[in-house]
């Protein structure tokens, strides 16, 4: 069984290494990565993994953020290169199996199943104290909601197929008859969308400036970007971040979840010479 992961990245230097290390340790055979004009050191990290043979790197110079098109291209390439299962992930998502590893979880799925549903919940930003995000951020929401107050939609992994099409946001796949849909909670997606003030500001500014060019955004996503970008333009984004987003243990809708922290700690202990 060959398990592939796809990632679409742009300026994710604070998390891309940890995402790769996590999923490779979970049994992913190869990661296909499309880099869209990163300038913060992300590309240099990806080149390291490319040299090791763990990453196949595609460079996308377009100024339009065409997520569905680019992820579909990677998913189809994965099928051509021998993948059995494909996980289309965002770089701030960690696909955490309920038991065993990702490899053992997908290897145990019956032939009748063609897609696996994975539900997401967010870790919340914590006060910055010099530690990396995965050491600080151990509070996870019991249920996470999108900008219009609805539960975050799940994502799907799928059996590889050369004619598959991946929808915007990696929430669905079309174009091929893959088989049954497994709704059982086999894998959780733990999500770190906001990690530091600098990362959040960069994300808002980059996204806000790309609104006019991006024809793929849903109305909900558009409203989210528009709202936060307006705050930034008025000089109010930092206050919003500190008052509304940074959390403490007093919030009743969060609980402590140390699985990602503990797993990454174990990786750092196991390979100290490879870490910087």
Whole-model pTM: value is 0.90
Helices and strands in the chain, H and E counts: 9, 13
Comparing 213 with 8, the larger pLDDT belongs to 8
CB neighbourhood size of 6 (10 A) = 27
Q: Does residue 225 register a pLDDT over 80?
A: no
Q: Does residue 273 register a pLDDT over 50?
A: no
Specify whether the CB–CB gap between 12 and 91 falls below 8 A: yes
> What confidence score (pLDDT) does residue 274 get?
47
pLDDT digits (tens, 9 = 90+) for 66-77: 889 999 999 999
> What confidence score (pLDDT) does residue 23 get?
98
User: Which domains are present in the chain?
Assistant: 3-195+253-274 (3.90.550), 197-245 (no CATH)
Q: How confident is the model at residue 216 (pLDDT cuts 50, 70, 90)?
A: low
pLDDT digits (tens, 9 = 90+) for 18-61: 999 999 999 999 999 999 999 999 999 999 999 999 999 999 99
pLDDT digits (tens, 9 = 90+) for 114-146: 999 999 999 999 999 999 999 999 999 999 987
Please calculate the CA angle 46-273-263 and round it to the nearest 5 degrees. Answer: 75
> What confidence score (pLDDT) does residue 87 get?
98
Highest mean pLDDT among 152-166, 206-220, 262-276: 152-166
Helix 219-233, helix 197-209: angle, nearest 10: 110
């Amino acid at each position: 069984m060959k398990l592939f992961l796809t990632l679409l990245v742009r300026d994710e230097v604070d998390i891309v290494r940890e995402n790769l290390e996590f999923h490779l340790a979970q049994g992913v055979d190869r990661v296909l990565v499309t880099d869209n004009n990163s300038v913060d050191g992300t590309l240099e990290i990806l080149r390291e993994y490319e040299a090791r043979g763990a990453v196949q790197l595609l460079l996308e110079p377009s100024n339009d953020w065409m997520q569905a098109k680019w992820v579909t291209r990677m998913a189809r390439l994965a099928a051509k290169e021998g993948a059995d299962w494909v996980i289309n992930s965002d770089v701030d998502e960690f696909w955490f199996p309920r038991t065993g590893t990702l490899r053992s979880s997908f290897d145990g799925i019956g032939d009748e199943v063609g897609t696996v549903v994975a539900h997401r919940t967010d870790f919340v930003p914590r006060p910055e104290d010099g530690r990396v995000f995965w050491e600080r951020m151990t509070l996870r929401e019991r249920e996470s909601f999108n900008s219009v107050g609805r539960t975050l939609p799940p994502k799907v992994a799928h059996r590889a197929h050369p004619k598959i099409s991946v929808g915007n946001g990696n929430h669905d796949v079309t174009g091929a008859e893959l088989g049954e849909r497994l709704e059982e909670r086999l894998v959780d997606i733990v999500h770190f969308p906001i990690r530091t003030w600098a990362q959040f500001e960069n994300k808002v500014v980059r996204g806000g400036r790309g609104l006019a060019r991006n024809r793929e955004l849903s109305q909900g996503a558009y409203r989210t970007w528009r709202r936060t970008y307006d705050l930034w333009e008025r000089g109010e984004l930092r206050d919003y971040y500190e008052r509304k987003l940074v959390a403490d243990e007093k919030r009743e809708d969060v609980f402590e979840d140390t699985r990602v922290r503990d797993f990454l700690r174990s990786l750092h202990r196991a390979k100290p010479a490879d870490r910087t």
